[in-house]
Amino acid sequence: MPSTLLNSINPLIEFRNVSKQFGSLFANKDMSFRVREGAVHAIIGENGAGKTTAMRMLFGFEEPSFGDILFKGEIKPWHSPRGALSHRVGMVHQHFMLSPVHSALDNVLLGREFLLRSKSKGSGIKLFGSVLSRIQREKIHAELEALCQKMGFLIPWHESVENLPVGIQQQLEIIKLLHAGVDLMIFDEPTAVLAPIETQKFIQMLKTLNQEGKTILIITHKLQEVKDVADEFTVLRKGRVVATKKCADVSIQEMADLMIGRHVSLNPMPRVACTPGQAVVEIENLSITRAGKKNKLTNISMTVARNQIVGIAGVEGSGQNELLKLICMPKSSKPPGYRLTGKLSLFGKPGLKFSATKVRRKSIGIVPSDRLREAVLADESILENDLLGHDHEFTKGLFFPFKWIDRGAARERITGELRDFDVRPENPDHILGQLSGGNQQKFVMARELSRHPELIVCAQPTRGVDVGSIEQIHAEILKRRENGAGILLISSQLEELMALADVIHVMFEGRMVASFERSEFDEARIGVAMGGGGA
Amino acid sequence: MTGWSRFVSEILLAALALVIGLSLGGWLAYAAGESPWRVIEIIVTGAFGSGYDRGMVIYFAGILIATGLAVALPFQVGVFNIGGEGQTLMGALAAGVIGAYAPESWPHWAAVSAAFVGAVLTAGLWGSIAGGIRAFRGGHEVIGSIMLNFIAAGITGWLVVGKLQAPDSQNPEMKVIGEVFKLHRFGAYNGAPATTAALVALIMAFLFWLVLEKTPAGLRIKTVRQSPDAAVVAGYDPAKVRFWAFTSGAAMCGLAGAVMVLGESWRFRLEISDGFGFLGIPVALLGRGRPLGVVVSAILFAVLHHGASSLDIESTKVGRDLAQVIEAVVVLSVISLPPMVRGLRKWL
């Protein structure tokens, strides 16, 4: 091995030719790298590169199909997250593993009742004594407070987790691990849910933890963070290790090139000036509320006009999904028990009573954020997927059951569609789940945009998509704007919004806290607003 | 292609399950002192030996196709209709009432259609209670439909010993249906209740396939099964789809009930359904929830069911219960083989 890093003296963790196979697909293939004890080690790579799977194997959620993971020089002795914890290895997942209805304090206690008790008494566990004895909540509460003070966290311990902002939830996850006494902390995309300011604080906190001797493994695809905090990084591409290097030796541009596998340059797209036309979506003072619960949406007012791209910025979970639901399925956008007040007009008509089916019959294209769950059926062919939400265009016949889908007509139409959007392979009988992430997304864009809708609702259009496809998708969105579509663009990537949008509204905890015209775009100010700072 | 390999593996799975069931049944017979080969011989002769036997197999197969479809259709959207017995009873009750009290002056085709439509609607309506609770209120369909089985048994039992009991009968049964309501039995089967109803059941299975593969409803069903979230975004209402799949499945049981009354017993009587509603569950499971699979496995179960009744007479060592053991093992194999194969692959 050429790199000195790979031969470092005491690796805490070593992946030795590790592969993970799901069916016929390899999520990871022949991965080898080492993590030095006491280091901050970043795992970088595009979406789908196999970062999360690698960490899940380390944490004991999955077992490697081939190869070994070594812990302190021996094959890791645990096969479950619980086992990992008992060896002082902890993980903060991208989607937090918290019980929403329990208080913050109870979330720390959950699943550790016995461990906590045996620790506090110091003697062996007696079965009934253990079950029946009271957990020493007060003592643990005090311990947690002490930890919080040290870290500079403020956690309302008796509040239910569902009422806590994401940032606090993340702090809770970290405190949980610290209280369990872990030495190795794994973070999966920790900053995806954080506003820029919170991210800075988070980076600072990582440094503090590291100074206290914790080893930190952080999965991310944000390269600036890697540069800021990590000592070393490992690049994954298509499940394989491309390189493990010291951060000090490598520039961000070089990291990006390693990650993508070729030289990348992100030039801004050329934009034509357009005057916004007629409004397609108008929302006035809209709130979704329930007494005793956090509001889903509070006083939202906004307009999407033709020839206009309206961007919605915000940390994930700030109400963007609720907004999307409100427009695409007004009638079912209100969870049971909640009240919906305000006005919504779609295509110039009062739209609050529209069902999802009715909206679909209008001239609308919907690109939801979670592609595999909400936009496609992975086990079906491209042709079947093309019918999804658009089957009425090919339906012949009078009434059920004398109604059928003219798949011949659908097949004739789809070929042009696939070619226009450069979806590969162009074969309509290909199973959709076997396409790459970029091609799947291009297919969804093709399905929704090739009908020339007047309104396009588009969430995270480039998530998990390779750089080449990102350019194509952005160009397509801009083209639709010039051709007269009104576009609502929800994205957690500020750069994407700044490149495409005419107006950016910033959402925070279900409110619109700031709006910026294109001439006022300023990364720092938008970033502050995303953290709830106001404009 | 992938579709083909899936098809082949489903067939292999069903065949393997059948082999396991037969081997275990054979072993049991052997343990009881009877030759397995002789058991098979008895079952086969019992099912195909005479015209009458073949007619009975046709009759049972028609009923089992209907009650099998009643389970298979809701299966397509991931709900489990375990209430076939109650739905069959309600369907049979409706057919029996129409047959007994509607005017005899109706032409044959109109009378039979009226009885069938009445049975199908009643069974559908009965199933829609459990389906509605599941789809719109989230109550579990297994609990709902199994409770409704008891209620249906209670209602029909109460009626046939009370208001609707035939005046000339000591038994819990209704009046004999009018002559115009009786289904014509094919002559070749020596009086066995083989009627056009079996053909109707086949047509229903074909229709089920058509709906799944060709219609917008089929696309909705497919989408809801695979991803309810995608269905919502595509503008399909998963609750409605689930409700209608469950209800139309239940309606199929009405068909079975009507055939029992119009084709076989010519009157509604207590326990007319005799477990055929429940037998639809293994039929659908072995048929992997597919229309063609349901037809094939219904025929197979009909052969086993009728053929095994000869065991009581022909063998002193084993009885017709052996068929139930075989059926049960086949179903357990169908359910447990896929995860076992998956586990084996993982382990290798």
| CB proximity A427 to B under 8 Å | no
Token couple for A202? 């988070």
Chain A: residue nearest B231 by CA? A374
Distance CA(A479)–CA(A481), nearest Å, equals 5
| CB proximity A374 to B under 8 Å | yes
Band (B107; pLDDT cuts 50, 70, 90)? very high
Nearest by CB to B216, from A329, A374, A395: name it: A395
Contact B237 A355 (CB under 8 A): yes
Nearest by CB to A403, from B1, B215, B227: name it: B215
Instruction: With beta carbons under 8 A apart, name residues in chain B contacting A391.
Output: 216, 219
User: Is residue B58 in a domain?
Assistant: yes
Instruction: With beta carbons under 8 A apart, name residues in chain B contacting A378.
Output: 226
> pLDDT, tens digit, for every residue of B249-283?
999 999 999 999 999 999 999 888 889 999 999 99
Q: How many domains does chain B have?
A: 1
| CB proximity B2 to A under 8 Å | yes
Nearest by CB to B233, from A366, A378, A403: name it: A366
Residue A145 pairs in a beta bridge with none
Instruction: With beta carbons under 8 A apart, name residues in chain A contacting B223.
Output: 377, 388
Nearest by CB to B219, from A368, A378, A391: name it: A391
Contact A370 B229 (CB under 8 A): yes
Q: Residue B50 above 50 pLDDT?
A: yes
B/e letters for A82-109, b = 16+ CB within 10 Å, e = fewer, are eebbebebbbbbeebebeeeebbbbbbb
Fold of A5-260: Rossmann fold (3.40.50)
- Comparing CA positions, the residue from A513, A373, A517 lying closest to residue A440 is A373
The reply to whether omega before A401 is within 30° of 0 (cis) is yes
- Comparing CA positions, the residue from B69, B87, B91 lying closest to residue B205 is B69
Tell me the pLDDT of chain B averaged across its residues.
91
> pLDDT, tens digit, for every residue of B121-134?
999 999 999 999 99
> pLDDT, tens digit, for every residue of B233-255?
999 999 999 999 999 999 999 99
| CB proximity B207 to A under 8 Å | yes
Burial label for A32, CB within 10 Å (0-12, 13-18, 19+), is middle
Q: State how far residue A231 is from chain B, nearest Cα, in angstroms.
A: 37
Q: Which residues contact A357 (CB under 8 A, 6 or more apart)?
A: B235, B236, B237
- Structural domain span for residue B218: 12-342
Predicted pLDDT at A135: 65
Q: State how far residue B121 is from chain A, nearest Cα, in angstroms.
A: 16
Q: Coil, strand or helix: which one is B306?
A: helix
Distance CA(A370)–CA(A316), nearest Å, equals 12
Burial label for B37, CB within 10 Å (0-12, 13-18, 19+), is exposed
Amino acid at A141: H
Nearest by CB to B217, from A359, A361, A400: name it: A400
Token couple for B123? 């069974």
Q: State how far residue A442 is from chain B, nearest Cα, in angstroms.
A: 17
Nearest by CB to A401, from B215, B227, B237: name it: B215
Profile chain A (535 residues) by mean pLDDT over runs of 10 residues.
50 92 81 92 84 90 90 89 88 86 87 53 46 66 89 88 83 89 90 78 90 91 86 90 90 84 68 87 92 88 94 87 90 86 92 89 89 87 92 84 86 89 85 82 91 92 75 88 93 86 92 92 86 63
Q: Residue A72 to residues A76, A177, A200, A264: CA-CA distances in angstroms?
A: 8, 20, 32, 38
Contact B223 A377 (CB under 8 A): yes
Got the DSSP string for B233-252? Answer: HTT--HHHHHHHHHHHHHHH
User: Is residue B1 in a domain?
Assistant: no
Instruction: With beta carbons under 8 A apart, name residues in chain A contacting B207.
Output: 401
Predicted pLDDT at B140: 92
Predicted pLDDT at A189: 84
Distance CA(A466)–CA(A197), nearest Å, equals 27
Residue contacts between A and B (CB atoms, under 8 Å): 78
User: Is residue B5 in a domain?
Assistant: no
User: Is residue B92 in a domain?
Assistant: yes
Contact (Cβ atoms closer than 8 angstroms) between residue A338 and residue A290: yes
Domain with CATH 3.40.50.300 in chain A: 5-260, 277-363+455-535
| CB proximity A375 to B under 8 Å | yes
Predicted pLDDT at B56: 94
Q: Which residues contact A534 (CB under 8 A, 6 or more apart)?
A: A513, A514, A528
Q: Residue B8 above 60 pLDDT?
A: yes
B/e letters for A462-489, b = 16+ CB within 10 Å, e = fewer, are bbbbbbebbebbbebbbebbeeebbbbb
Got the DSSP string for A160-172? Answer: BGGGS-HHHHHHH
> pLDDT, tens digit, for every residue of B198-207?
999 999 999 9
Predicted pLDDT at B42: 93
Higher pLDDT, A264 or B317: B317
Contact B230 A405 (CB under 8 A): no
Instruction: With beta carbons under 8 A apart, name residues in chain A contacting B235.
Output: 329, 355-361, 389
Predicted pLDDT at A199: 84
| CB proximity B226 to A under 8 Å | yes
Predicted pLDDT at B20: 94
CATH of range A277-363+455-535; options 3.40.50.300, 3.10.20.30, 3.40.50.11720, 3.40.50.1860:
3.40.50.300
Chain B: residue nearest A393 by CA? B216
Instruction: With beta carbons under 8 A apart, name residues in chain B contacting A427.
Output: none
Neighbouring CB atoms inside 10 A of A23's CB total 6
| CB proximity A433 to B under 8 Å | no
Contact B223 A388 (CB under 8 A): yes
Contact A357 B235 (CB under 8 A): yes
Average pLDDT on B221-235 reads 93
Predicted pLDDT at A129: 46
